Amino acid sequence: MSTNAQRAGWVITVLVTLFLAFDVITHVLRVEAARDFNDMIGAPSWFPVVCGVVLGLSLIAYHVPATRAMGTILITAYLGGAVTVNLVFGQPAFNTVFAIATAVLVWAGAWPRDERLRGVVAA
């Protein structure tokens, strides 16, 4: 992959990481918006914290070269769960599209930076 593609991958990775880290913080600290949504879907009070921890650990794996492929897949799975919850609970279409777009950006950031990841998908 070209150096420009790798730079673009890093820029995308930084931006998506900032957003996902913010999401981790809102879940772990159980900010009002996270609590309100959690109450709306009827999940137990501990649920946002577990979601935040799972996403946080996946985000760390995404940044460690040896576990980048696993982290990329785990974040994609997490966001797939977000899509499901949005659809089941009739959330605005933007929420679903945003989760899908975030998953695409996770892959767009990792793809040019990790030859092994490109190999896994191509296999």
Beta strand ranges found along 9-111 (DSSP E): none
* C-alpha–C-alpha distance, residues 56 and 112, integer Å: 22
pLDDT lower than 70: segments of the chain: 1, 121-123
10 Å CB burial of residue 58 (0-12, 13-18, 19+) is: buried
Torsion of CA 31, 82, 23, 114, to 10 degrees: 170
pLDDT value of position 123:
55
pLDDT value of position 118:
78
* Mean pLDDT, all residues of the chain: 94
